[in-house]
């Protein structure tokens, strides 16, 4: 079975090398000891979620929330190129967490919550902060589940106007739209830089938003013959780009 991944602070991994012993405590330690019931000799991975991972075995278990890890190897993953960012319109209910979970498992590097004009859901006040925390927690848990060493960043939510600079600065930007004249599978992609995908809400991207995005350099592309829900379109499109750019090779 693949070794489980647990999150630790970057400072805890600083200077880690084969032969070192690292401690895992707090909520992650409790999960490892009391929920996963890891025991001495079992394989484990500690990561800071920013690209560094310590691979080793459990050396000792103490109480209900602490264990020690004997490090066998330390790996540092460079930032992937090209970088893939998905701008996700706010879905209804728990479909936002579903989108974040599957995009994280697929390999997306950043997720930007977008308050599109046709979004039924709007993040305001404490409700919005709670929703953002849930998206970020989902990304962390999905990152661990999928054995990633570099977790995706979940940015602060943006309006359409706030989104435009991101699209303008991207090496390639596409708006997923069923009426797009070009298929995403045939788009000319750069070798590096940032690739940005915009996923609209269930009600679709408004005409004025499409116009603003086009002026910023993001044009509509169709994904396939069927129309996907907002919670699955980003995952499917990201998978297509990960394959086409060689990141899945």
> Which pTM does this prediction carry?
0.94
Task: Note whether 20 and 69 are within 8 A (CB).
Answer: no
Which stretches of the chain drop beneath a pLDDT of 50? none
Q: What pLDDT shows up at residue 227?
A: 85
CA atoms within a 13 Å half-sphere pointing along the CA-CB vector of 174: 28
Question: CA 143 to CA 163: how far, in whole Å?
Answer: 25
Going from the N-terminus, what domains does the chain have, and what CATH number goes with each?
5-76 (2.40.240.20), 83-245 (3.40.1280.10)
Q: What pLDDT shows up at residue 1?
A: 65
Tell me if residue 136 falls in helix, strand or coil: helix
Q: What pLDDT shows up at residue 179?
A: 82
Report DSSP state, residue 157. P
Counting Cβ atoms within 10 Å, is residue 167 exposed (0-12), middle (13-18) or buried (19+)?
buried
State pLDDT tens for residues 170-191: 999 999 998 888 999 999 999 8
Report DSSP state, residue 50. B
Q: What pLDDT shows up at residue 181?
A: 81
State pLDDT tens for residues 217-244: 999 999 988 889 999 999 999 999 999 9
Number of residues assigned to the chain: 249
Task: Note whether 124 and 115 are within 8 A (CB).
Answer: no
């Amino acid at each position: 079975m693949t070794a489980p991944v647990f999150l630790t602070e970057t400072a805890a991994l600083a200077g880690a090398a084969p032969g070192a012993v690292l401690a895992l405590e707090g909520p992650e330690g409790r999960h490892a000891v009391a929920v996963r019931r890891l025991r001495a000799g079992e394989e484990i991975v500690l990561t800071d979620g920013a690209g560094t991972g310590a691979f080793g075995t459990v050396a000792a278990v103490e109480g209900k929330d602490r264990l020690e890890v004997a490090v066998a190897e330390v790996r540092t993953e460079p930032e992937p190129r090209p970088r893939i960012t998905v701008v996700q319109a706010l879905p209804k209910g728990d479909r936002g967490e579903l989108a974040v979970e599957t995009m994280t498992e697929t390999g997306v590097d950043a997720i930007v919550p977008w308050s599109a004009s046709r979004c039924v859901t709007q993040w305001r006040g404490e409700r919005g902060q709670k929703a953002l925390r849930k998206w970020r927690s989902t990304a962390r848990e999905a990152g661990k589940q999928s054995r990633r060493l570099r977790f995706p960043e979940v940015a602060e939510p943006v309006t359409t106007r706030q989104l435009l600079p991101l699209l303008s600065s991207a090496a390639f930007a596409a708006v997923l739209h069923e009426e797009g004249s070009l298929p995403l599978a045939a788009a000319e992609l750069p070798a590096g830089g940032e690739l940005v995908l915009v996923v609209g809400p269930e009600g679709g991207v408004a005409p004025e938003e499409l116009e603003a995005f086009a002026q910023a350099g993001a044009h509509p592309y169709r994904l396939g013959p069927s129309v996907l829900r907002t919670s699955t379109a980003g995952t499917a499109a990201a998978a297509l780009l990960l394959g086409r750019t060689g990141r899945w090779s």
